[in-house]
Amino acid sequence: MATASMEDYLERIYQLIEEKGYARVSDIADTLEVHPSSVTKMVQKLDKSGYLVYEKYRGLVLTAKGNKIGKRLVYRHELLEDFLHIIGVDENYIYRDVEGIEHHLSWDAIDRIGDLVQYFHEDERRLKALQEHHKTPE
């Protein structure tokens, strides 16, 4: 079972590989705002746990397990951003709020949030009605 920190690294590694085709320790360190030595330690831990294969000075590759989890973590993050946007959370807070809650929700809760997001996207009138409700003074 991946820890919250391991999930953050897997999510970011997956995104970097999707964007650039590779993920280097320096890129991971820059985007997560941590020291390269911290990245190296975590990458070694992820390697030992079977999420990726790491060769010093050669780079890293996600295993099938790491790729599957990375993809699911990115989905969770994007879904929660979408959900917070739908319910009217200020854009300036969405990323920080998602980072604060994403590791504390069960996958069952994520699936239910996904159902709700889908419900609003299936009919734009629902979304507009919710947005109007936000504008209504109490």
As annotated, the binding site for Mn(2+) includes 8, 11, 77, 99, 102-103
Q: What is the DSSP string of 4-66?
A: HHHHHHHHHHHHHHHHHS---HHHHHHHHT--HHHHHHHHHHHHHTTSEEEETTTEEEE-HHH
Helices 107-122 + 64-86 axis angle, to 10: 50
- Phi, psi of 59, rounded to the nearest 5 degrees: 110, -165
As annotated, the binding site includes 8, 11, 77, 99, 102-103
